[in-house]
Amino acid sequence: MKKLVLLIILFTTKSTFGQTQMAPFELSQSKKLSVDAYTVFKTNKFLDFKERDTLVEVINGTIYKKTDLNNYFGYKKNWDEIEKETSATYKKEDEKYGYTWVDSTMVETYKKFGAYEVWREIKTVYNSKGFVLSRHEKVFVGDNYKEAQIIINEFDDRNRVIKIINRTERKNQEENKESIIQAVYEANSVKVTSENGMILCKFITDNNSIGFISKLSPRETASSFMYALRNKQLDVAKDYCTHKMIEKIEVHPILDNQIEEVSFISGSDKFSQESVTMSDVWEIRSSTSRKVKYKVEFVMTKQQNGWKIDEFRINN
């Protein structure tokens, strides 16, 4: 009976990118093409979006969709950090993962166990900049090998994917499947082709764009600012400030010290018509001192791109 249930599950599900799941509906041809395009962007770590404001997807000469890239992720991407990544960035500190290095590539292997005796053996190969060259996932039920899900990515000399091969290999070779996505890059566009057709993705830069719009509350903005300082990310902390405040924190004597730890102790908020004043207590340990409690005061103002810190005072 157990084997019968297992067979029913296997025949009524499909595997997509290594995930076994129900297929609730069939995507439209246009949606499939859009998914193909975003597969390209994801493989590129979305770096195609850097310094772009809008993505326009064109299918058969007609605009299919427009996307605001400044707010696509719900937070501001640190593109400079992403560009600095190496394969070591993706090395996980968990004993279940194994790593080997071959020439300039890092090979990650691990096993993933699921229900009904289904388990997977996964191998991912990264290049020196942390882009995925290939992902090979073998699926087993107990001791029985069922299939392999394989992704092979080919990149140009700028680490932009130009071909994505998705392959499913089964014991019965007649059931094998393969699909290919190809990308051609121009200065302000990417043409993506697959078995689903062709989609032209145009990137638009708007000099009048206000950029990312923060949806954080004043209190969440203050907390994010504090966490950025704790993580020694002064550039990230500046994202929560007005232009006036950015100039101040660059020369602030306390913030100029190497902060090792910072934690929130208590705080209160006072709202007015156009601003919020916050009176907090932080505990800070710098590289040259023990933990010290500081009185911290913020004045937040609502800008076009969200709540920003306009004034910041700190003393012990």
- Residue 167 and residue 175 in contact, taking contact as beta carbons nearer than 8 Å: no
**Model pLDDT for residues 116-162, shown as the tens digit of each residue:** 999 999 999 999 999 999 999 999 999 999 999 999 999 999 999 99
What is the mean predicted confidence (pLDDT) over 242-265?
77
What residues does CATH 3.10.450.100 cover in the chain? 218-315
Distance CA 280, CA 295 (A): 6
Q: What is the pLDDT of residue 132?
A: 99
- pLDDT value of residue 253: 60
DSSP of 54-81? EEEEEETTEEEEEEESTTSSSS---HHH
| Contact predicate 123/166, CB 8 Å | no
What Rg, from alpha-carbon coordinates, does the chain have? 25
Q: Which pLDDT score, from 0 to 100, does residue 18 have? A: 46
Vertex 131: Cα angle to 102 and 135 (nearest 5): 70
pLDDT attached to residue 9: 44
pLDDT tens-digit readout, 128-139:
999 999 999 999
Distance CA 215, CA 210 (A): 14
Q: How far apart are CA 51 and CA 139, in angstroms?
A: 40
CB 15 within 8 A of CB 147: yes
* Local structure of 67: helix, strand or coil: strand
Q: How confident is the model at residue 272 (pLDDT cuts 50, 70, 90)?
A: confident
pLDDT of residue 57: 98
Q: Is the pLDDT of residue 30 over 50?
A: yes
Cα–Cα distance, 193 to 182 (Å, whole number): 5
Q: What is the pLDDT of residue 22?
A: 52
Per-residue exposure over 45-61, b if at least 16 CB sit within 10 Å of its own CB, e if not: bbbbbeebbebebbbee
pLDDT at residue 12, as a whole number: 47
User: The tokens 């929560």 sit on which residue?
Assistant: 240
Percentage of the chain with pLDDT > 70? 90
pLDDT at 299 over 50: yes
What does the alpha-carbon distance between residue 29 and residue 17 come to, in Å, rounded to a whole number?
A: 19
Residue 203 has pLDDT above 80, yes or no: yes
Q: Give pLDDT tens digits for 88-102.
A: 999 999 999 999 999
Does residue 206 surpass a pLDDT of 60? Answer: yes
With cut-offs at 50, 70 and 90, classify the pLDDT of residue 40: very high
Judged against a pLDDT cut of 90, whether residue 274 lies above it is answered with no
Per-residue pLDDT band for 193 (boundaries 50, 70, 90) equals very high
Would the CA dihedral through 23, 25, 29, 32 be positive or negative?
Answer: negative
How many residues in total does the chain contain? 316
pLDDT exceeds cutoff 80 at 24: no
Res. 51: pLDDT tops 90:
yes
3-state helix, strand, coil in the chain (%, to 5): 20, 45, 30
Burial class (CB in 10 A: 0-12, 13-18, 19+), 163: middle
Cα–Cα–Cα angle for 24, 182, 28, nearest 5°?
Answer: 25
Give the Cβ contact number of residue 14 at 10 Å.
12
- Residue 226: in which H helix or E strand, if any? helix 218-230
pLDDT for res 258: 66
Q: Interior CA angle at 24 toward 72 and 65, to 5°?
A: 30
| Average pLDDT along the chain | 88
User: What is the second-level CATH architecture of the domain 218-315?
Assistant: Roll (3.10)
Mean pLDDT within 3-7: 46
